[in-house]
Structure 1
Amino acid sequence: MQMLASALLAAAMAAHAVVASPIQARSPYAVKETHFAPREWTKLDRANGRKLVQLQIGLKQGNMDGLLEHLSEVSDPDHARYGAHLSADEVDDMVRPAKETCDQVEDWLREAGVGDVSYNTAKDWITVHLPIDFVEKLLDTEYHNYKHEDGSIVSRTTHWSLPRHLHEHIDVIQPTTSFFRGAANAATYVKTLDKVHDEVASLSFANGQYEPSDVSKVCNVSSVTPECFQTLYKTKGYKTRASDKNSVGFTNYLEEVPIRPDTELFLKKYRPEAVSSAKTFKTYSINGGPLNDGPLTPQELEDDKSHEANLDVQAIAGISWKTPIVSYSTGGRPPFIPDLTVVENDSEPYLVWVNWLLQQRSIPKIISTSYGEPEQTVPRSYAERVCKQFAAVGARGTTMFFSSGDRGLGGTDKCYTNDGKNTYKFLPAFPASCPYVTTVGATKNFEPEESAYRAGRNLSDGYHDLYSSGSGFSDYFKQPTWQKDAVPHYVKSIGDLYKGLYNPRGRGYPDLAAQGLYFAYFWNGTEGTISGTSASTPLTAGIFALVNDALIASGKPTLGYLNPWLYKKGYKGLTDITIGFSYGCNVQGFPVTKGWDPITGFGTPIFPELVKLAGGHIGY
């Protein structure tokens, strides 16, 4: 370890030494991007210039327009090429930058004194490890430390520049202006079962129901279990037939990692035939993400870790058996790491993960992500580029589910713009707002279901724990063509309600929903409950993994990028939710209505109908 530390220190000193070399720009520098620090962050002193960062440079991609056209064709159920997904090599070939772009950027880096650079397989991303003071000269900027209201500290800038001739060759460089945090969308962490009863008084079955239904016999509003989900969404009795050709994955950030002994306890109680999957699901560490095959470590216990990761794996395993499960734990987040010999591990986690994923030759057909943040905390260039990376994943035949968030329209007392004007408005979330992912909202209650909501309370630490299924319209991404009927119809139906507080021409979300309140789960050997779109999203991923299983067994392609099919045909296989509101931003919010709405999308899954609409056979 001492030799490794010495080597790293030598590398840091060598990188620092090149700062004295003047950067020979072939054209004058001009600002490439400016992005305000969000209200939750406080600017502190200058960042330590000797600290190493992992700088990621996104080059202008080659035929991205062609890739998006291909994606549109293979995802349209009425197109002749529907289901003809690309291979990893074919995607790389389409997005690979022009030789001129690579040459220009390499020349700039070399003349600046940057030695070795690392490319991904498509050569559209460059990664270099450099001291902050060198990056400041390279990008003509200054980094400061910024402190989030939760105590986290990161080193960021609010603007950066490039030589003018490189503006057309570089889309994005991070970490620079991004202030997002990748927070998990779990509105209620662990509660022992005896503590939830006082919170469920408003949860019930429909009034006037006297004869017990199959759902009412197995669904308990205070602790919702896999048997309830199987019955409610009609997967009960289905036997997987293509497990050797199928898989479902989920992502972990913020040092989260699924705990196998807890998963085993959960499955022993609620899905005993699936208990072996607690030991067999695959785990991958990306960018230093943690791995753990045993119980929670003392440090994980102290940090209260792995509620989210445990929820994800248990929600998926409880519904999708025997589909293989894959877990990805990606490093990259606050807090500040003061060791100057270590590359600061606060790089952009979505970007790190998706770029790693795209370099793998084989990836799951369904991937669930339960993380997000306000769209305005993410620089537009970053959001657009990462969204395109998600499109590349979709082109390979993988459906990406993201949670819609748990603060409705934007939380309580938080809904102000990040443009220096502090204008009151609703706050859409990212990556939920990306049109190339399928966004999942949350419901509660049974027969009928309604949008998930729990009134907030002011807690002792000043936090207001409103829980309302995430809802919104993007300010970054325009309304995609597959929403041209559903979303304008909804916007017209509400008239001038909240006019000016949202973008009616933006990508609306979510696209569909599932249960998201009081999931039974285990953490640290104890059963409790947990809520949020963090719950509804892996549950939905598990259900659609079974849809893919039926399709593969029927000789059909997997669903892949889901939204064009969902809005044209698949919505008929969902139960329309018509009760509830979006809440948040100190208002009641958008109403849930018949048809698509920006709280529950088109509704919740009906497994047999989805399989039938996709062209598969159940095969009970």
Structure 2
Amino acid sequence: MVGFVVAFSALFAAQLTFASPVRSRTPYQVKDVHNVPRGWRRVRRAPADHVIDLQIGVKQSNFAELEKNLYEVSDPDHHRYGKHLSADEVKELVKPTDETLDLVHEWLDANGVTPSGYSSAKDWIMVTLPLGDIERLLDTEYHVYEHKDGGVVARAPKWSLPLHLHDRIDTIQPTNSFFRARAQKFDHVEAPVYTDPHYTPPSNETLNAVCNVSSVTPECFQTLYSTKGYKTHACGKNKVGFNNYLGEHPIRSDAELFLAKYRPEAVSTAKDFPQITIADGPGDYALTPEELASATSKEANLDIQAIAGISWKTPIISYSTGGSPPFNPSTSTPDNTNEPYLVWVNWLLDQKSFPQVITTSYADDEQTVPESYARRVCQQFAQVGARGTSLLFSSGDSGVGPYGECISNDGKNTTQFLPEFPPSCPYVTAVGATKNFEPEVVAYRPAFVGPDGVAHGNYTSGGGFSNYFTAPAYQLEQASKYVKNLNGLYDGLYNKKGRGYPDISAQGLYFAYFWNGTEGVISGTSASCPLTGGILSLVNDALISTGKPPLGFLNPWLYSKGYKGLTDIVSGSAVGCGVDGFPAVEGWDPVTGLGTPIFPELVALAGGKLFY
């Protein structure tokens, strides 16, 4: 009888094990750990009833094939060049396998969790839950963290999954990402501005007549980059877009003032461009008193004015995405903790079509983002490129890194240069900044005190090498040559095998622009990026007008052929981290990339036709 009881008990225990929740099929193990970056301090345990939108990055079934397709349709020497993928073709390559989705759904169902939404390819699953439930789901603890510059978020530096799901789920956020998207603009300054004592006016009389180093205007850009007189022909098919985060939205009345003064034939653009709001982003309205007090929308105004000033009549689309951290409704309660780029790019990929060029003037230190998350967001960008759109990102405004902040986030607190993400992603085109006109040099302005007594910090075009992404094949030769020629300079401060950025550059110092009805000047790669986007949209116009596809993902073309249509920048360096930083040299360099645009030559190299 005793033997029967023992046997029955063993059988019963086995049945219980078999019938236990899927979460116990394999034990939980830590999936991802990310150190809390400098500048953040833990305040308290996060409230268990605080609700957040959790985004689960499910393993894509065949990203390697998607990447292969991306490079083939972007390589001018490949027979598939320009044959961009459709939305359905992209989805088919990245959608998770049925087995993977079944396992993830079983785990969620066993924990009483119902998805609240999916990305179009179902490679992202969204769930909305109180933090207490998320803590149980991920076997973690969330705490409230406060940044020294303001902003309160709920984060968990490490989180876990059942072992059998480690290869089925790439990342889950917001968990351990402390990303703080920042606009890559350098402060608004009203004249007079700091002038370079070594500046020499252009000897070219035409250029000298329209280019003023203390306030650079669309006429100067048109002349400098040779777009002047080009007439667009593909306005019904060609578009250019730009992104806004952190509550930014372009102000139509300011755009109207700018265009009336500097591009009067384009003034209707100020009323015509659509402002699309995503995830409760800010809409189309005049600045509120609170926004005026916090100087909101200087970046958004710069973007629309820089693009409209160069790309008339190409239609422009503005995207304003909400939910970007940090969001600080009070000093004690975290809220609205969505990650910034993922919400936008997943929304974009749900659309049947979108602009052929989209610019983004926001980024942060790469090390604030967990590598798993950075890689998945980068893979989303690859999907956009495969569909024929050029994604441009500003390269940053602090050279190789901000003074006093060049410390690693690996727990060792070693001194290192700070690359930025998303420009470090190999599937986007990063844009650096130049100044002066004959010749153009690296954009740099030392710290100074303005005529109003206000101190203005050091500004340098950003550049460097990724610690997460290796140099892609299209860039490997140029990046390796550059590193070799440094002869050991800055060894140990950067990843010699990393993806180097920027890829291209353009003017980025003292752009004339309007904000709150007043004209001033503003600087940054936030200026060079939309300007470059406007110029490239004109190249697309010259292609589409003759029945050819748009440029799409630019980099393979730029590094193999397009560089011949750029002016190489060979003077200046990426000053930062208390050193001169990477120098500009002949050929590619991680401060101005391959150079600045020569519009007619880019059109010719791309096989388009000029219309005057």
TM-score when scaled to structure 2?
0.94
Please name the residue that 2:387 is paired with.
Answer: 396
Please name the residue that 1:278 is paired with.
Answer: 270
Q: Does 1:432 align with 2:430?
A: no
Give the structure with higher Rg (CA): 2
Q: CA deviation at 1:203?
A: 6.1
Q: CA deviation at 1:205?
A: 2.8
Distance 2:561 2:516 in 1: 43
Please name the residue that 1:118 is paired with.
Answer: 117
Between the two proteins, what is the percent identity of the paired residues?
A: 61
Structure 1 residues 73-112: aligned runs within 5 Å: 73-112=72-111
Structure 1 residues 29-44: aligned runs within 5 Å: 29-44=28-43
Q: Does 1:387 align with 2:378?
A: yes
Please name the residue that 2:60 is paired with.
Answer: 61
Q: Does 1:205 align with 2:200?
A: yes
Contact kept? 2:153, 2:335, Cα under 8 Å: no
Contact kept? 1:204, 1:446, Cα under 8 Å: no
Q: What code does the residue aligned with 1:595 have?
A: G
Structure 1 residues 355-434: aligned runs within 5 Å: 355-434=346-425
Deviations 1:464-498 (A, max 9, x none): 82211001000000010011221111111111111
Please name the residue that 2:587 is paired with.
Answer: 595
Distance 1:139 1:368 in 2: 35
Q: Does 1:191 align with 2:189?
A: yes
Q: Pick from 448, 462, 473 the counterpart of residue 465 of structure 2.
A: 473
Deviations 1:570-609 (A, max 9, x none): 0000001111011100001111111111110111000000
Root mean square deviation of aligned Cα: 2.0
Distance 1:73 1:275 in 2: 40
Deviations 1:491-523 (A, max 9, x none): 111111111111111000000100000000000
Q: CA deviation at 1:292?
A: 2.0
SS in 2 for 1:372: strand
Please name the residue that 2:3 is paired with.
Answer: none
Q: What code does the residue aligned with 2:120 have?
A: T
SS in 1 for 2:150: coil
Distance 1:466 1:603 in 2: 23
Distance 1:409 1:89 in 2: 40
Please name the residue that 2:483 is paired with.
Answer: 491
Deviations 1:434-479 (A, max 9, x none): 0000000000111000001111359999998221100100000001
Deviations 1:281-312 (A, max 9, x none): 0111111100124x312221122100000000
Please name the residue that 2:181 is paired with.
Answer: 182
Structure 2 CA distance for partners of 1:133 and 1:167, relative to 1, 3 Å: same
SS in 2 for 1:91: helix
SS in 2 for 1:407: coil
Structure 1 residues 165-564: aligned runs within 5 Å: 165-188=164-187, 190-193=188-191, 195-196=192-193, 199-202=194-197, 204-205=199-200, 212-293=204-285, 295-332=286-323, 333-337=325-329, 344-456=335-447, 465-564=457-556
Distance 2:480 2:243 in 1: 33
Q: What code does the residue aligned with 1:525 have?
A: G
Q: What code does the residue aligned with 2:515 have?
A: W
Contact kept? 1:54, 1:343, Cα under 8 Å: no
Q: CA deviation at 1:258?
A: 0.4
Structure 1 residues 151-162: aligned runs within 5 Å: 151-162=150-161
Contact kept? 2:327, 2:334, Cα under 8 Å: no
Distance 2:115 2:142 in 1: 23
Structure 2 CA distance for partners of 1:357 and 1:476, relative to 1, 3 Å: same
Structure 2 CA distance for partners of 1:153 and 1:469, relative to 1, 3 Å: same
Distance 2:593 2:291 in 1: 36
Structure 2 CA distance for partners of 1:42 and 1:203, relative to 1, 3 Å: farther
Contact kept? 2:152, 2:334, Cα under 8 Å: no
Contact kept? 1:36, 1:419, Cα under 8 Å: yes
Distance 1:434 1:564 in 2: 14
Distance 2:506 2:83 in 1: 29
Distance 1:52 1:618 in 2: 54
TM-score when scaled to structure 1?
0.93
Contact kept? 1:52, 1:343, Cα under 8 Å: no
Please name the residue that 2:69 is paired with.
Answer: 70
Q: CA deviation at 1:53?
A: 0.3
Distance 1:423 1:386 in 2: 27
Residue-pair matches, total:
591
Please name the residue that 2:134 is paired with.
Answer: 135
| Deviation larger for 327-336 or 424-433 | 327-336
Distance 2:178 2:599 in 1: 39
Structure 2 CA distance for partners of 1:203 and 1:246, relative to 1, 3 Å: farther
Distance 2:330 2:136 in 1: 21
Distance 1:431 1:358 in 2: 17
Distance 1:135 1:592 in 2: 48
